[in-house]
Amino acid sequence: MFTYHCLNPIAEVGLSRFSSDYAHIDEPEKAEAILVRSASLHGKEFGEHLLSIARAGAGVNNIPLDECASKGIVVFNTPGANANGVKELVIAGMLLASRDIIGGVDWVHDHEEDGNIAGAAEKAKAAFAGREIEGKKLGVIGLGAIGVLVANAATHLGMDVYGYDPYVSVDSAWRLSRSIHHATTLDELYKECDYISVHVPALESTIGMIDKNAISLMKKDVVVLNFSRDTLVNGEDMVDALVAGKVKHYVTDFPIPGIAGVKGAIVIPHLGASTEESEDNCAKMAVKQTIDYLENGNIKNSVNYPDCDMGRRGEHVRIALLHENIPNMLGRFTKILGDHCINIADLANKSKGGYAYTLMDVDSDISEEVIDQLRSVECVKKIRVLR
Ligand SMILES: NC(=O)c1ccc[n+]([C@@H]2O[C@H](COP(=O)([O-])OP(=O)(O)OC[C@H]3O[C@@H](n4cnc5c(N)ncnc54)[C@H](O)[C@@H]3O)[C@@H](O)[C@H]2O)c1
Ligand SMILES: O=C(O)[C@H](O)COP(=O)(O)O
């Protein structure tokens, strides 16, 4: 029996994939698996039984990844599972920034009791006129799951799209429309574009990237869209740019104090992934990855340990070792098994940054003594034996 705990509501279509071998428990500190959306795990204690954390979503800045890795806790996310939901809201954000739909709807609301509202609307509507996005230039920073969808959709709406991503994956490059201009510097993108949409993770290298220096390179009346993370944009610099009229609209999915009332700010309460489809996709992927890790030791879409897949466990006893990525770990593991005449039927060893993972299928069961010897190899973070 495995135990899991959900720190945020997770879609039932995903949770229903847990068989009767799984029990939801109310105490996170006792769980073997945690499922989470945006709840912050920074500064939280992790229970001694915790094996995995699955983020049903993309951004993992709410999870202390290094601390988890050093405690042998595998963290997963669900790449691309909510990308379409975000893409659609970004397109909506561009349209809201281009046509004064919000101002117009508010006007109708304020005049709903007016018996002559139809006539009054015809006189009032000039105040809410806007511009079209067709033919305008859109710059997309970050061409991952979301950036590619936004860029491609914008070309279908007749926009001239510039993409910037020095680390673009081969997979994303294949999916990107050929009509998208390859911006080789951010300066080029800032100088050219009427709309700029940011789709990068919050990392040390990206936090604060849209600041007064970046904004100074942008066109007057630019629209900046941030559906990635609040910290990517320097809030004070953005407020100054809105007040000064340099930025026409700042459309963001992340409310921060003091921004919603600033003229030109369009602030949404983090709704990018809040669609039935995205929530279902994320939950299904998060649960599937959790089950495969707990039952087979396979790792897919981890952000702090390498991916590693030896298929279903089958008849063999499977030993799973999370450890640091240093020389001779395999040698030490295989020596211990050899000394106890335990034959290895299959083996995989993968690394990612400072951490590595070894999976071994062995032909006979192993004793507590052997497990203890493997556990006490220096730099082993966790051992599991799947029988
Ligand atoms: N608003 C929402 O509800 C919502 C939903 C999903 C994701 N997000 C946010 O959007 C981010 C992106 O999501 P995704 O699914 O597209 O992730 P992704 O990992 O598929 O794509 C991120 C892309 O950013 C690129 N990148 C990294 N550093 C860069 C840099 N300095 N300059 C340019 N490109 C850089 C990477 O190469 C990658 O292609 C997430 O990290 C998350 O913070 C928000
Ligand atoms: O990074 C993400 O996937 C999004 O920000 C979605 O967050 P949510 O699951 O809390 O809506």
Digit-coded pLDDT (tens) for 319-335: 999 999 999 999 999 99
Nearest alpha carbon, ligand 2 atom 1: 59
Residue 39 and residue 56 in one domain: yes
Residue 210 and residue 291 in one domain: no
Residue 76 and residue 87 in one domain: no
Residue 36 and residue 98 in one domain: no
Residue 144 and residue 242 in one domain: yes
Residue 206 and residue 282 in one domain: no
End-to-end C-alpha distance for the chain, whole angstroms: 13
pLDDT of residue 66: 98
Q: What percent of the chain has pLDDT over 90?
A: 100
Check which CATH number belongs to the domain holding 106 and give it.
3.40.50.720
**Gap between the Cα atoms of 50 and 72, Å rounded:** 9
Residue 191 CA neighbour count, 13 Å, CB half: 6
Interface confidence: ipTM more than 0.90: yes
Mutate which of 38, 53, 75, 253 for ligand 2 pocket (most atoms within 8 A of beta carbon): 38
Residue 123 and residue 231 in one domain: yes
E strands, 192-243, are: 195-198, 222-226
If one counts the domains in the chain, the total is 3
Neighbours of 280 (CB within 10 A): 17
**Gap between the Cα atoms of 271 and 82, Å rounded:** 11
Nearest alpha carbon, ligand 2 atom 10: 38
Q: Is the CB of 145 under 6 A from ligand 1?
A: yes
Residue 108 and residue 184 in one domain: yes
What value does the mean pLDDT take over residues 48-57?
98
Nearest alpha carbon, ligand 1 atom 18: 144
- Taking the centre of ligand 1 as the mean of its atom positions, its distance from the CA of residue 12, in whole angstroms, is 26
Question: By residue range, what is the domain housing residue 327?
Answer: 312-387
Residue 175 and residue 239 in one domain: yes
- Taking the centre of ligand 2 as the mean of its atom positions, its distance from the CA of residue 278, in whole angstroms, is 10
Q: Is the CB of 199 under 6 A from ligand 1?
A: yes
Mutate which of 37, 199, 209, 274 for ligand 1 pocket (most atoms within 8 A of beta carbon): 199
Mutate which of 165, 205, 251 for ligand 1 pocket (most atoms within 8 A of beta carbon): 165
Model confidence, pTM: 0.97
What value does the mean pLDDT take over residues 285-314?
98
Check which CATH number belongs to the domain holding 335 and give it.
3.30.70.260
